[in-house]
Amino acid sequence: MKEIKIDREDMLALTRRMTVKRSSITRIAGAYIDPDGFVDGTFNVRYLKLSGSDKAKNLEIAKTIPFAETNRKLKRYVIPKESRGKESMWQLLTAAKASGLENDALLDIFYDVFAQKYQSGHEYGVFLFHDRYDIPAKAADHERLGESEQVFEYLICAVCPVSGDYEPGEPECGFLFPSYSDGGALVNCVDIYQSDERCPHRELEEIFR
C-alpha cells in the first residue's frame, strides 16, 4: 500500500479529548484470541456503562494509537481501490463504523478474519473503540467559532497481549480507520500503529489489501 504523511496536528485534535471527562467514545467491543487463532470469547459494551476505573483503563489502550509517534510508529496508508470492493476489509469496517459497533455479526466476521491473518505466539485481545469527534468550526484565521460543522466518526483498533483473567498489556499494534486530515475523513486511508517498528506486524497491512 502507498504510504503518505500524517500531520501531527490532526492527531492532537483527536487526542485532546481523550480524557475520562471529555471522551466521546460510544462503544467498546472486542475478542480474546488464543495462539492457535481461535476466538475464546467476545464482549460489546457501551462506554458510559463502564466504571470510572474501567473507562480510564480502556482510554489508555485507545489513546496509544493516535498518541504514537507519527510517521514512525503510526503510519498512514492508502487502501488500494481494488481492495475497497465487496467483501473487503474496507467495506466491513465501514459498515461496522456506521453501526456504531452494534452489529455483532459484522464484528464476528472481523474477528475471524483477523485471527486467521495475525501471527502471535501468545493469547491476545483485539479491542475496538467507536468514537465521534464534533469538528469545531473555524474562521479564516483558524480561531474556533464554537459551533461544530461536521462529525468525524471513526474506529480505533488495538491489539494487546492478555494474561490471567484476560488482563490486557500495552498495545503491540493497531489502527485508526478511517484516517483524519484537516477537519475531515480520508475514507480510503488507514493509520497503522506498530509498537516495534523494527519488527512490525505486517499482517495489519495485509488485511487491508
pLDDT in 10s for each residue of the chain, 209 residues: 899 999 999 999 888 889 988 899 999 999 999 999 999 999 999 999 999 999 999 999 999 999 999 999 999 999 999 999 988 999 999 999 999 999 999 999 999 999 999 999 899 999 999 999 888 775 444 455 555 568 899 999 999 999 988 999 999 999 999 999 987 899 999 999 999 988 899 999 999 98
What is this structure's pTM? 0.92
Alpha carbon distance 64, 46 (integer Å):
20
Domain ranges of the chain: 2-133+145-206
Q: What is the Cα–Cα distance from 119 to 159, expressed in whole angstroms?
A: 12
Q: Give 117's contacts (C-beta < 8 A, 6+ positions apart).
A: 203, 206, 207
The DSSP bridge pattern shows strands 184-186 and 179-181 to be antiparallel
Place of cell 468525524: 152
Supply the pLDDT for residue 139.
45
pLDDT for 134 equals 85
HSE-up (13 A, CA, CB side) for residue 199: 3
**Where are the strands (E) in the chain, listed by range?**
2-4, 25-33, 39-46, 74-78, 124-138, 144-163, 167-168, 173-177, 179-181, 184-186, 189-194
